[in-house]
Every structure is written in structure tokens, then in C-alpha cells.
Amino acid sequence: MSTTDTPAFDRPDSDAMTGPIPTVPAASPDATATNPSMEPVTDSGRHRLRPDAGGPGATTFERGAVEKLAAHAAGEVDRVGGAANRLLGVAVGSDDADRSAKVTAQLDGTVATLTVRLSVLYPAPVGQVTAHVREHLAERLSTLAGLDARRIDITVAALHTPAAPVRRLT
């Protein structure tokens, strides 16, 4: 029995999982006559594709998914809090530090334009924090979704003071 006849997990050699991909035998004419869905496959390196597939495909993102991803990424930055929901420009609730940032996204292919509303922990320098949020959002969207965030507009809705410890009288 040769190496190509033995499954990779049964091979005793150490490079069993890193060896070449064994070739796939072509379907016999009888097999395609009984099962017309069996199509010949081509080997394009690591992936086997049908001849009519044209490539591995493309991933597209919905606007809501990008908004949630960006809101989560903004929350990963130190000294950044969230913003209240707004209805006709009026805050509904409060701009709590525990909320998530509010993000609106516009997509054009792989280019994203974001509008972010968040709060900053006082006395952090607002300019530095927002610059760090911009850089972090651009990096995370590029890494996780392959999107190019060319414009990121940030509105600081509130400044929060650190939560004071609760005093107890004994």
C-alpha cells in the first residue's frame, strides 16, 4: 500500500497532516449517469471547486451587523462609555457609562462610513480618546470584516465621572 492510498491519520510518519493532498479520482461515466448531480471537481490548491463556481465567493455584511461590531469594538477602548437612545433628537434615558456606544454605518462595497455617539470618562483627554477610538475601529473592522473604514465621525454625548464608592455608616 502506498502513502497516497493510506488516510493521513493512519500514516505513521510525522508529516502525515502536512503532506500533499491526495488526488481525487474522476467520477466514472456510470456514476454520473445514475447521479447527475455528481460533477467533476478541480483542485485549486487547498480548496476543491466545481468548474462553474468561478472562485471561492465573496462575503457581504449587512449594515446592522457592522453597526453592532463597531459598537462592541468602541466599548473595548478604555475610558469610553455609551450613549442613550434618541428619539427625534431627544435622549431617551441617560448617557450611562455602562451602555454601549451608538453606531450608524453606511456601506459601499468594502468601504464603511461610521457615525459614533459615545461618552468619555472625565478627566480623560477627549481628543486623545476619540483618536484612539477611531484607530481601534478602523483596525477591528479591517481585521474582523475586511472593511475599510474611511470616515469615522464621533460625537461625545457626555462626560462621566468615576463612580464614587458607596459609603456605609456603621
For 41-80, write each residue's pLDDT tens digit. 444 455 555 556 566 677 788 899 999 999 999 999 999 9
Average of per-residue pLDDT values in the chain: 75
Give CA separation, 63 vs 51, 100, 126, 150, in Å: 32, 17, 28, 16
Place of cell 478604555: 78
Q: What is the C-alpha to C-alpha distance for residues 70 and 76, in angstroms, rounded to an integer?
A: 10
pLDDT at 160: 83
Cell of 25: 479520482
pLDDT at 59: 76
Report the first-to-last Cα separation within the chain, whole angstroms: 83
User: Which of 49-53, 57-61, 147-151, 157-161 has the highest mean predicted lDDT (pLDDT)?
Assistant: 147-151
| Over residues 90-101, mean pLDDT | 66
Q: What is the C-alpha to C-alpha distance for residues 69 and 141, in angstroms, rounded to an integer?
A: 8
Domains along the chain? Answer: 12-49 (no CATH), 63-160 (3.30.70.1350)
Task: Check residues 134 and 98 and name the one with the higher pLDDT.
Answer: 134
Q: What's the pTM value of the predicted model, to 2 decimals?
A: 0.60
Q: How confident is the model at residue 129 (pLDDT cuts 50, 70, 90)?
A: very high
| Over residues 102-107, mean pLDDT | 93
Q: Is the pLDDT of residue 82 over 70?
A: yes
Residue 104, classed as helix, strand or coil, is strand
pLDDT at 89: 63
Task: Check residues 146 and 46 and name the one with the higher pLDDT.
Answer: 146
32-41, 45-54, 150-159: which has the minimum mean pLDDT?
32-41
Q: What is the C-alpha to C-alpha distance for residues 150 and 57, in angstroms, rounded to an integer?
A: 24
pLDDT at 32: 47
| Over residues 22-45, mean pLDDT | 52
Contacts of 163 (CB under 8 A, 6+ apart): 97
What sign for the dihedral angle of Cα 24, 29, 35, 36? positive
